[in-house]
Chains A and B, each alone.
Chain A
Amino acid sequence: MSRAVRFAPLVFLLAIIAALVWRLATPVDSNVHSTLEGKPLPAFDLPPILPSKPALSSADLATGRPHLVNVFASWCVPCVTEVKVLQALKERGVPIDGIAIRDRAPDLADFLARNGDPYERIGSDSQSRVQISLGSSGVPESFVVDGKGVIRFQQIGPIEASDVPMILSKIEQAR
């Protein structure tokens, strides 16, 4: 048995160990990145849900400045805490639009009155059609859309207070 053959298992093992050590040492990026990042928004034109709010279409999001599009619902519990963080983002100058999923006007009005209203526009997605075309599978989710209507970032789950600097930098990058 030649030397090369005898030591092959050991060398192979060391290579595997090296790869595994590397894997343990590098932090795992557990975020799921949307395949839509870098692609233009799908075209949509949602009806209004509240008389006091203008409706939302994809054309409203290609106006030259970046937007944060928040997919939410009045029946969604994490959205209650998230909306307060959105309020803070709005105070820092981030324009925020909402897509209300399977919602009813009186419930939504109540939700906004109770928790605050950071939204410029809200479109009603009563059958989740636009939500699905955005590749979003739940509420809340948020999208950073640049001035040309291209999706720059997708946040799955609520934006927490600790995410504010990250979202602000994403908005800044989208300018």
Chain B
Amino acid sequence: MIAETGLAALWPAAGLALLQFVLMIVALRSGADVRRAMRSIAVVQGVLTLVAFAMLLIVFARSDMSVALVFENSNSAKPFIYKVAGAWGNHEGSMLMWVTILAAAGAFVALLAHRTSERTTVAALGAQAVLALGFYAFLLIASNPFARLWPAPMDGQGLNPLLQDPGLAFHPPTLYLGYVGLSVAFSFAVGALLTGEVDSRLARAMRPWVLGAWVLLTLGITAGSYWAYYELGWGGYWFWDPVENASLMPWLAATALLHSINVLAARGALKAWTMMLAVIAFSMSMVGTFLVRSGILTSVHAFAIDPQRGTFLLALLAIYVGAAFTLFAVRAPGLKEGAPFELVSRESGLVVNNLILSVVLGVVFVGTLYPLFVEAVSGEKLSVGAPYFDAVAGPLALLLAILVGIGPLIAWRRERRPVFKPLAIPALLGVTALAITIILAPGMRILPRLGFTVSAYLAAASFLPLVKRNPLRAPLATWGMVVAHFGIAVALVGMAANAAFSSERLAIAKPGDILTVGPWAVQLADVTPTAGKNWTAIEAELRASRSSGVITLAPESRFYSDPPTETSESAIRTFWNGQLYTVIGKQDVSGAWQLRLWWKPFVTLIWAGGALIAIGGALALLGRLWRLVWRPRREHDWRRERYA
């Protein structure tokens, strides 16, 4: 009954989405005020999808093997939390989660959108309904999550043990929330292009959604990077894998949008460009979902591959993005650009920021899809690897990091003061860092060296917007910007230190052998068998010491029973100045064990920086919401006065 309830909730939800779309067309043609009806429909639609999703969670929690999806992706021996997480650790479940978040976001837009005009709100809600409609069709036609099996099997086929990890419980939902947050920006942009009301009010209505989505994408990417780092046992934090790129591309577009939307909100300028970015940001989310779910590109991330699903997603992508681009092409000439700005101004700075981010986005996009085109043209198979991305995106990222220190110091519209004067101290710090790396590590490669230089400069420069004003009275959004920009410097130090100072040791060892890696002496003390709820393992006991004291690490090589899969559980110990990372591999014929050891100085700063960037975004979001909730009336009155 539970599964049937879930399915029964999806059909009327799809019907309501259709109704919402029809209402939008009627309202835009006749000018009737349908906002109240629209609001109720959007809310009911959101509730229905939440019911459907709750039903899916229940069948997974109860291990109801008569539901095909549970049988294929779960097992009664799995720990409870992974049973529940299994609900979205598969294609159908994740699509239901996507549509649930989409509909819930639509409901929130309906409840909260007081800033945009009635016509634009209705148009945006209609666009959001069309988005949801496609995914309802997808779920109900091509990937029903509630299909039953008869007779019901005794037990399920498990779940990829790599995914049996706390990371799985939060990583996909975080990214999906981010993607769908961008869908709201898309819907607002489409709505505003339909009504022609692209103005600072629209930007202010869109901004919290973009900020929220961007924070979640930042968190999702940071967490995903750490997950790959400790779970895959390869010691790397970013592989430029197509699936990683699929999450990076929407983030890059959202980062650009986040900055350009401020220009629109503050000065009413960059109208067409901001609308384009809003469309592109969500398009990149859809491209990402398509790449991941269609299995069109080879990747270390194995997901269900089904050409029918790929075709369906591609059709949705073509319809939505094609329609939005057509709308843009037709309506863009009608947009009146806002206040003009001079060459040296905050606006120009943000334009440069957008240009660099767009180029990086293009680089990643081309690198990810290039193998596809080469094969289409010449039939040759190839893959674009880290060297290309590092060589092209690395210098651009460093250039952007330099400009990040300057941009926030420039005034809006035009800057008459000398901008570079306050940057003397940060620049001096950067040069000092450069000198230190040249003296202490003359053999360092150029990118890590520049990484240290730029991060030393940026760490200081990021705080300049707070100088010469009372930091406590600075708006929360300014603090958010400072923290996020400082986070870039922190992450950059981690990446540079990891690239320059990591030491790696791959060796065969017998119990009793001592290996050195970086400053550490690591002894393989013992290897013992061990077992968990649904796995057995070989566990090594490693005793590591540097100047004084001994610490023990226990990396495992695990064997999961259902489905039979081997994974390596790395053992990682974090210190203030780095991480000791250990992996145990196979036993060879002579009885010795493969050991992989890394000493990674300051590698944790990469994720600490990512977290700071997300915290900065969250602070800015809080600041914006604070104003929205506490000062809407005052702003409203002010506007009425102004336009009266």
Residues of A within 8 A of B (CB): 1, 3, 6-7, 9-10, 13-14, 16-17, 19-24, 102
Inter-chain contact B310/A6, CB cutoff 8 Å: no
Q: A24 and B329 in contact (CB under 8 A), knowing A10-B322, A13-B321, A19-B376? A: no
Inter-chain contact A17/B328, CB cutoff 8 Å: no
How far, in Å, is A72 (CB) from chain B's closest CB? 19
Inter-chain contact B325/A10, CB cutoff 8 Å: yes
B398 on the A face (CB < 8 A): no
How far, in Å, is A1 (CB) from chain B's closest CB? 5
Q: A6 and B296 in contact (CB under 8 A), knowing A16-B369, A22-B376? A: no
Size of the chain B interface, CB-CB below 8 angstroms: 28
Inter-chain contact B310/A13, CB cutoff 8 Å: no
In Å, the complex CA distance between A9 and B275 comes to 12
Q: A13 and B294 in contact (CB under 8 A), knowing A6-B329, A20-B314? A: no
Which A-chain residue is minimally distant from B379 (CB atoms)?
A: A29
B333 on the A face (CB < 8 A): yes
Contact residue among B326, B329, B372 (Cβ-Cβ distance under 8 Å from A23)? B372
Q: A20 and B372 in contact (CB under 8 A), knowing A1-B333, A9-B328? A: yes
In Å, the complex CA distance between A14 and B325 comes to 10
In Å, the complex CA distance between A175 and B326 comes to 58
> What residues on B are CB-neighbors of A23 within 8 Å?
296, 372, 375-376
With contacts A24-B311, A24-B314 known, what are 12 further pairs, Cβ within 8 A? A1-B332, A6-B332, A10-B322, A10-B329, A13-B318, A13-B322, A17-B314, A19-B372, A20-B290, A20-B296, A20-B372, A23-B296
For this complex, 17 residue pairs linking A to B, each with C-beta atoms less than 8 Å apart, are A1-B332, A7-B329, A9-B280, A10-B322, A10-B325, A13-B283, A13-B318, A13-B322, A13-B325, A17-B317, A17-B318, A17-B322, A19-B373, A19-B376, A21-B314, A23-B296, A102-B589
B55 on the A face (CB < 8 A): no
In Å, the complex CA distance between A58 and B387 comes to 39
> What residues on B are CB-neighbors of A22 within 8 Å?
376
Inter-chain contact B294/A24, CB cutoff 8 Å: yes
Inter-chain contact A24/B307, CB cutoff 8 Å: yes
In Å, the complex CA distance between A23 and B381 comes to 13
In Å, the complex CA distance between A24 and B296 comes to 7
In Å, the complex CA distance between A8 and B373 comes to 19
Which B-chain residue is minimally distant from A18 (CB atoms)?
A: B376
Name B's interface SS. Answer: helix
Contact with A along B78-101 (1 / 0, CB 8 A): 000000000000000000000000
In Å, the complex CA distance between A43 and B235 comes to 38
> What residues on B are CB-neighbors of A102 within 8 Å?
589
B276 on the A face (CB < 8 A): yes
B272 on the A face (CB < 8 A): yes
Residues of B within 8 A of A (CB): 272, 276, 279-280, 283, 290, 294, 296, 307, 310-311, 314, 317-318, 321-322, 325-326, 328-329, 332-333, 369, 372-373, 375-376, 589
How far, in Å, is A82 (CB) from chain B's closest CB? 20
In Å, the complex CA distance between A102 and B310 comes to 44
In Å, the complex CA distance between A13 and B322 comes to 7
How far, in Å, is B228 (CB) from chain A's closest CB? 24
Which A-chain residue is minimally distant from B272 (CB atoms)?
A: A1
Which B-chain residue is minimally distant from A6 (CB atoms)?
A: B329
In Å, the complex CA distance between A22 and B307 comes to 12
How far, in Å, is B366 (CB) from chain A's closest CB? 11
Of all A-B residue pairs in the complex, the 8 with the closest CB atoms, nearest first, are A10-B325, A6-B329, A9-B325, A7-B329, A17-B318, A24-B310, A6-B332, A19-B376
> What residues on B are CB-neighbors of A19 within 8 Å?
369, 372-373, 376
How far, in Å, is B351 (CB) from chain A's closest CB? 16
> What residues on B are CB-neighbors of A7 within 8 Å?
329
How far, in Å, is A132 (CB) from chain B's closest CB? 15
In Å, the complex CA distance between A106 and B333 comes to 83
> What residues on B are CB-neighbors of A14 within 8 Å?
322
In Å, the complex CA distance between A19 and B291 comes to 13
Inter-chain contact A6/B328, CB cutoff 8 Å: yes
> What residues on A are CB-neighbors of B307 within 8 Å?
24
> What residues on B are CB-neighbors of A9 within 8 Å?
276, 279-280, 325, 328-329
In Å, the complex CA distance between A161 and B589 comes to 34
Which B-chain residue is minimally distant from A30 (CB atoms)?
A: B298
How far, in Å, is B286 (CB) from chain A's closest CB? 11
In Å, the complex CA distance between A130 and B322 comes to 55
In Å, the complex CA distance between A6 and B311 comes to 27
**Most chain-B CB neighbours within 10 Å: which of A7, A14, A23?**
A23
In Å, the complex CA distance between A16 and B372 comes to 10
In Å, the complex CA distance between A17 and B372 comes to 12
Q: A10 and B326 in contact (CB under 8 A), knowing A1-B332, A1-B333, A19-B376? A: yes
> What residues on B are CB-neighbors of A24 within 8 Å?
294, 296, 307, 310-311, 314
> What residues on A are CB-neighbors of B311 within 8 Å?
24
In Å, the complex CA distance between A16 and B290 comes to 13
**Most chain-B CB neighbours within 10 Å: which of A21, A24, A102?**
A24
In Å, the complex CA distance between A7 and B279 comes to 14
> What residues on A are CB-neighbors of B376 within 8 Å?
19, 22-23
> What residues on A are CB-neighbors of B589 within 8 Å?
102
Contact residue among A6, A10, A13, A17 (Cβ-Cβ distance under 8 Å from B333)? A6
> What residues on A are CB-neighbors of B369 within 8 Å?
16, 19
In Å, the complex CA distance between A16 and B279 comes to 16
In Å, the complex CA distance between A21 and B332 comes to 29
Which B-chain residue is minimally distant from A27 (CB atoms)?
A: B307
> What residues on A are CB-neighbors of B321 within 8 Å?
13
How far, in Å, is A142 (CB) from chain B's closest CB? 22
In Å, the complex CA distance between A21 and B296 comes to 10
> What residues on A are CB-neighbors of B310 within 8 Å?
24
In Å, the complex CA distance between A14 and B323 comes to 11
In Å, the complex CA distance between A23 and B375 comes to 9
In Å, the complex CA distance between A24 and B373 comes to 13
How far, in Å, is A38 (CB) from chain B's closest CB? 16
> What residues on A are CB-neighbors of B322 within 8 Å?
10, 13-14, 17
> What residues on A are CB-neighbors of B296 within 8 Å?
20, 23-24
> What residues on A are CB-neighbors of B375 within 8 Å?
23
> What residues on B are CB-neighbors of A6 within 8 Å?
328-329, 332-333
Which A-chain residue is minimally distant from B375 (CB atoms)?
A: A23
> What residues on A are CB-neighbors of B294 within 8 Å?
24
In Å, the complex CA distance between A102 and B373 comes to 43
Which A-chain residue is minimally distant from B287 (CB atoms)?
A: A16
How far, in Å, is A97 (CB) from chain B's closest CB? 25
How far, in Å, is B87 (CB) from chain A's closest CB? 28
In Å, the complex CA distance between A45 and B31 comes to 88
